[in-house]
Amino acid sequence: MAETEEFRHQDQDELILHLKEVQQLLARQKIVEDLVHRQDMPRHDLVETLVHKQHLTQLQAKLDSLHPADIAYILEALPRDERILVWDLVKAERDGEILLEVSDAVRESLIESMAPAELVAAAEQLDADELADLAPDLPTEVIDDVFRSLNTEEREQLRAAMSYTEGSVGALMDFDLVSVREDVSLEVVLRYLRRFDDLPDHTDQLFVVDRDEHLHGVLPLDVLLVNDPDVQVSALMQTDALTLLATDAADDAAQAFERYDLVSAAVIDSAGKLVGRLTVNAVLDHIREEAEAEQLAQAGLKEEEDVFASIWDSVKNRWQWLAINLVTAFIASRVIGAFEGSIEKLVALAALMPIVAGIGGNSGNQTITMIVRAIALGQVGENSERWLYRKEAGVALFNGLIWGGLLGLLAWWLYKDIRLGAVMTAAMTLNLLVAAAVGVAIPMTLRKLGRDPAMGSSVMITAVTDSGGFFIFLGLATLFLL
């Protein structure tokens, strides 16, 4: 990052230290203002105002020294009242950058606190690609005002950026790039670059285009710098560099960036025209957001949740899968209820059956995690499904016989009943087989339905392995022990 920005990147320990400093300033302000407010003194209102301004000045100075991403971290870690107080102290010209950095849930709370004129001013500070990211969260009248303030080129860029679907390369690309012609010398290119105050972030190559903006190749900066200035661009440009279509899936692009260690890549339309570029920072942001969304989906959460959201907002985000979990838990209880007589006759069953269900749930979650990851990496196709069932069944059978056998021996030793040990081994093996089958079936089925393969997976696998484990274990015990 340029020194002129007067910010530096913070490691996690420093970031936490900055958060604590802000929290201490807020706490100190509250204590002192409460004391002053209770004092009976001459010119009380003036003193109270001065004390308030003094603390706010200290807090504002602290915020001015931090990078927008670090301020975003602090805002996310503060309760709503304190968050709005800190947000009001941020310089207006930095609002747009910070709104892009905070999570969706926190961004919503900040936007709610801003007047339309403030939102317009914040949006006008952003490039077209950045504005397209922020636009879905802004009121329609604000977008209209911002759109009218743009010049013709910026309007076209914004229209283009907003036309691409979420999760596509076009939605992630930016328009800030450097292009050159192939029929000029390197000396001409170098003179052209010297006219820039600074190059766009993550510029590792220049894009070679014709007069109609059709992409012909790329010229890496290292090639530009180490070759004779009299050589023409056409002699050194690379025509086999990776290019992406704006309609390509962002997940596929992320895999390409990881595979080929890319810093940037050209983005073209169906006619081969250069429309933008994708950079590694946008790819990393996409990967992080996808990973967070997958974690939330596995737990049955619909969307990212502000830690300090209202009780009602949190309830709305969580209730659906909790309701499903309640139904599945009731089914599991009914399975146990159906075997009350067996449990009364052999109390050991009550102590052992949670083991069968718990191990099955853990095994199923392992399978689901592996399959969801493979789907995300594009490693699993429809032709792979049968092979995956066989492979996971083999793993489950092996683990069931080994660990189920060990538990069976333990049950035999504890309760002096070899038949109980055999039932324990059989139940463990069968439940692991069920967990393996369901662990493959859930994400593959969700994928075929066009849904997120991770959606509610941990809830569903736990429901199946609990009910299935109880039924298998208690059913076998009823058949062979009673």
* 24-38, 101-115, 246-260, range with the lowest pLDDT: 24-38
**Which pLDDT value is given to residue 250?**
93
pLDDT at 271 over 50: yes
Residue with the bigger pLDDT between 389 and 33: it is 389
Query: Ranked by mean pLDDT, which of 273-282, 294-303, 360-369, 453-462 comes out on top?
Result: 273-282
CA dihedral in degrees (279, 244, 96, 147; nearest 10)?
Answer: 150
pLDDT at 82 over 70: yes
Alpha carbon of 278 to those of 63, 87, 183, 267, 460: distances in Å?
A: 31, 31, 25, 7, 37
Q: How far apart are the first and last CA of the chain?
A: 74
Question: 3-state DSSP call for residue 232?
Answer: strand
**Which pLDDT value is given to residue 291?**
80
**Which pLDDT value is given to residue 346?**
84
The percentage of residues in the chain with a pLDDT greater than 70, rounded to a whole number, is 90
pLDDT at 207 over 70: yes
For 6, other C-beta atoms within 10 Å of its C-beta total 11
Across the range 235-260, mean pLDDT stands at 93
Across the range 98-109, mean pLDDT stands at 89
What confidence tier does 35 reach under pLDDT thresholds 50, 70, 90?
Answer: low
**Which pLDDT value is given to residue 155?**
86
pLDDT at 220 over 80: yes
Model pTM score: 0.71
Q: How far apart are CA 469 and CA 340, in angstroms?
A: 16
Judge residue 255's burial from the number of C-beta atoms within 10 Å of its C-beta, 0-12 exposed, 13-18 middle, 19 or more buried. middle
Tell me if 352 sits within 8 A of 411, measured CB to CB: yes
Tokens 């969700």, located at residue: 446
**Which pLDDT value is given to residue 50?**
55
Write out pLDDT tens, residues 141-185: 888 888 888 888 888 888 888 889 888 999 999 999 999 999 999
Q: How far apart are CA 101 and CA 96, in angstroms?
A: 9
**Which pLDDT value is given to residue 229?**
93
Across the range 373-400, mean pLDDT stands at 85
CA-based Rg of the chain, rounded to a whole angstrom? 30
pLDDT at 457 over 80: no
**Which pLDDT value is given to residue 4?**
40
pLDDT at 37 over 70: no
pLDDT at 255 over 60: yes
pLDDT at 275 over 90: yes
Q: How would you classify the pairing of strands 264-268 and 274-279?
A: antiparallel
Q: How would you classify the pairing of strands 274-279 and 179-180?
A: unpaired
